[in-house]
Every structure is written in C-alpha cells, then in structure tokens.
Amino acid sequence: MSPGQIVQGRAHRLSWPGEAARIPDFQYAEMNSAENRPLSKFHWLIPGLGLLAVTVAAWVTDLDLGVSSLFYESGGISGWQAGEAPLWVFLYNWGELPAVLLGIFACLSIAYGAFRSSRARLSRSGILVLLALVIGPLLITNGLLKANYGRARPNQVVEFGGEREFRPVLVPSFRSDENSFPSGHAAAGFALLIPYFALRRRHPRWALAVLASGLAWGSLIGFARIVQGGHFATDVVWAGGVIYFSGFAVTRSIDSLQHFRNFIALKHWTPARRYLVQGVALTFAILIGAAYLVRLPFSRTHEWVVPIKSGSRTANIEIVTKNGKVRILRDQTIGYLKISTTAYGRGLPITPVIEKRSLVQTGASGPVLYYELLPAWSTIDFSSRIMIRVPKDIQVSIKQPEGDPEALIITESAPGAARRK
C-alpha cells in the first residue's frame, strides 16, 4: 500500500507497539505517512522570532522613520516624487491582481475536485487556500486592523510634512481615518505564499518555490508602498506575518480536526451535495472577479484655458475636488491661465469624472473662476492633481473646501513650501 492510500471496506485493526487501534470502516490510512505529517514547531518559531526581532528593533531605533526618510523629498507636489516612477505606480495599481487570480483558481479547484472523486485532494487544497485568503488579507488585514487599529501613514505624520502624530508599530491610536497598519497591498502580495501550506507535503520543492515567490512579490509591493509614502517598513513586515500565520492556523486547524478533514475530502458525498459544492465554489469565483472589477484603477485628464486681460493683477479660483493637490507654476511667456488636471482612483474602469467650470466674473483686477472635479459614481478611492499655469506677475488665490485633510497647495515662488488648508 502506498503512503496515504485510502482503502474502502470493513474496519481494519492496526497493531502498534503495546496497543491496538481501530480505524472506522470508511477510512484506513498510514498515520505516519508524509501526507499526514503535521507542521513542526519551526514553522511558527522561526517566522515568529523574525517578526519579534523586527518589532523590537523598530521600538528601540528609528527604523520606520529612517527607512521612510530615504525616499522623502521636501518640496514638490507630494514630497514622495520617487514613488511616481512607472514601476511603483504599476505595482500599486496591479500588484493585487495575482492574489485575486489565486482566489478564483482556489474556487475552481474546489469545484473540479467535487466533480471528480479522484481529485478530492484538489478540493482540500482549494479550501485551505480559500480559507486562508479570506481570513488573512480580507478579514484580519483589511476588515479588522486597517479599519480600526489606527496608525498614520508616512505622508500624514509631522516628520514628513503632515499633521498626524507618528506612532511606533503596535501602539495604536484606534482612529478609523489612519489606515497604515498593516499594508493591504503588501498583504495581497504575500498571499501568494499561501499555497505553500497545501503543497508542502506532496511537493516540498514546489512548496519552497511558492513560499519564496510569495515573500519576494509581497516584499516588492511593500517596498513600492514605502517609496510612495503610503506605509512604514513595519507595516509591510507585519502584513507578511499576518498572511503567513493565517495560512499556518488554517492548516493546523484542518490537520487537527479529523471530522473536518473527512468532510472536505468529499469522498463519500452524494451527487446532490457535490453539485451544491460546485455551485457555491463557482459563485464565489464570480463574486471575487466582480469585486475586483469595481476597484480597477482609472485615470482622466482635463484642460481649461482662460484668457487674462491686460492689466489684470490677480486670479481668484475656487476649486472643489476630493484629495486635491494643487501646484501653481508661473510662466512669463504666456498671457493666459491654464488649468490642467488629472483625476485618478479605483472603481469601474468606465467611471465618469464630472468637470464643472465657470468664469464667474472678469473684473479689472482679474478673473474669478469656479472649478469642480468629482466622480459621477461612488468609487473606492479618488484623488486629483491640478496644475495651474499663470503669467509671472499674476497673483493666484486658491479657495478649497474646509475639512479636506489632503488639500495641498504648492507655488513655484516658494520652493518646498506647502500650506495645508
């Protein structure tokens, strides 16, 4: 009999040194086979010590602020110009896609395993991966910690031009508008290591390759978020820890609960129950895909040119937008005012952006303008960048709605100076 082979039939009695054990008649297996080898203490001890070491180092040193300061530049429209490089923007926009595809593949594996009894093991692996994905990235990372824990992002703290207090890792503020801990993007990247727990017994080499790939992808995405000023280094490290130990906990639970193992083996399920499992798994696959479609990145650009009469001295502009960052550039070669905007966020790719603009008056002192840029539909995220190019001698006054914590105005006449409304 090969290791892990299941033999159907009446009950069998195994003779162990000093005792006799009776196995139920629906299942008989070699209990010491590689298939049933439990996770060792090193599977939690080594990662746990590594996570503890990084946390203690962040407590006793300026690890978080020191790493983030390497990518912060005073001045400019955000202070994190390095994060605008195409590679980091690409990882921010699309780095979560592999985790979404993994979730869909896990659902399809469950459905296929339920369809063919010879592939029941595939269903077990799919259930393990799907449960770990739901518990780790979805429930713990985004549902519990990011929504309630409270830690300001690097681009929000006083040390980097913001107004929030910096807090070391594991020192929460419990503010719902501070969502730095842990990194959701990095967690989605680290999610690719979860299949390690499903492969480690039968395919140990493949399992190690999957583990290394998941750690590398999550670290790369996490590095991108550090460069962009979106997360501290410990936010990324703890995202990896949450995902790893979620997979570890699900695996241990499945291994220790024999009834659950028998249940998900699907060996003795009736056709009706198999069809039910297939339907539920396929429905989950569709829902995962649909949920991702409504948070795809989108971008829209607009331009507005306003002539300025000779002798005008000022331009008063009221701007209504969300998370708006405004930059004023003076150009002695032009005789007009030009507003160039880029609106971007996450939602349906076809999400329209409403642009409302009006020339309120053209007095002797200069034009008075109203400009509005908002999404027509509800979006997961929305931000805008507004560039205002004006003649050199025109003084520009910008009015923005109160209560926008991201409102930022930077003028060319005072390099590096930024004032928040």
DSSP character string of 386-401? EEEEE-TT-EEEEE--
Q: Compute the average pLDDT of residues 382-401.
A: 85
Band of residue 32 on the pLDDT scale cut at 50, 70, 90: very low
Residue 328's φ and ψ, nearest 5 degrees, are -110, 120
- Which pLDDT does position 348 carry in this prediction? 87
Identity of residue 314:
T
**Domain spans of the chain?**
1-37, 40-293, 297-420
Q: CB count, 10 Å around CB of 341?
A: 23
DSSP-derived 3-state class of residue 24: coil
What percentage of the chain exceeds 70 in pLDDT?
81
Please state the rounded mean pLDDT for residues 318-333: 84
For residues 217-239, average pLDDT: 96
The pLDDT assigned to 78 comes to: 67
| Per-residue confidence (pLDDT) for residue 60, from 0 to 100 | 95
The pLDDT score that the predictor gives to residue 7 is 44
Cα–Cα nearest to 130, from 156, 104, 94: 104
Contact (CB, 8 A) for 353 and 376? yes
Computed on alpha carbons and rounded to an integer, the radius of gyration of the chain in Å comes to 28
| Sign, CA torsion 38/44/47/49 | negative
* Percent of all residues in the chain with a pLDDT value above 90, rounded to a whole number: 46
Q: Whole-angstrom Cα distance, residue 409 to residue 421?
A: 8
**Contact between residue 198 and residue 250 where contact means Cβ atoms under 8 Å apart:** no
Cβ neighbours of 143 (radius 10 Å): 13
pLDDT over 60 at 22, yes or no: no
Q: What is the pLDDT at residue 64?
A: 96
State the Cα–Cα distance between residues 218 and 190, nearest whole angstrom: 4
Which pLDDT score is estimated for 87?
95
Nearest to 231 by CA among 194, 191, 195, 189: 189
- Which among 318, 319, 306, 322 has a CA at the least distance from the CA of 390? 306
Sequence letter at residue 147: A
Question: What is the model's pLDDT at position 266?
Answer: 60
- Say how far apart CA 2 and CA 338 lie, in whole Å: 76
- Report phi then psi at 148, rounded to 5: -130, -20
Return all residues near 263 (Cβ < 8 A) that are at least 6 apart: none
- Cα–Cα nearest to 142, from 104, 176, 92: 176
Residue 270's pLDDT band (boundaries 50, 70, 90)?
Answer: confident
381-390/367-375 β-pairing: unpaired
**In sequence order, which ranges of 193-232 are alpha helices (DSSP H)?**
195-199, 204-227
How far, in Å, CA of 227 to CA of 355, rounded?
31
Predicted confidence at residue 6, as pLDDT, reads 43
Output phi, psi for 131, to 5 deg: -60, -45
Q: What is the mean pLDDT of the chain?
A: 83
**Distance (Å, whole) CA 150 – CA 170:** 10
Spatial contact of 92 and 185, defined as CB atoms under 8 Å apart: yes
The closest alpha carbon to 238, from 160, 137, 129, belongs to: 137
How confident is the model over 193-201, as a mean pLDDT? 93
CA distances from 172 to 6, 145, 150, 290 (A): 50, 10, 5, 33
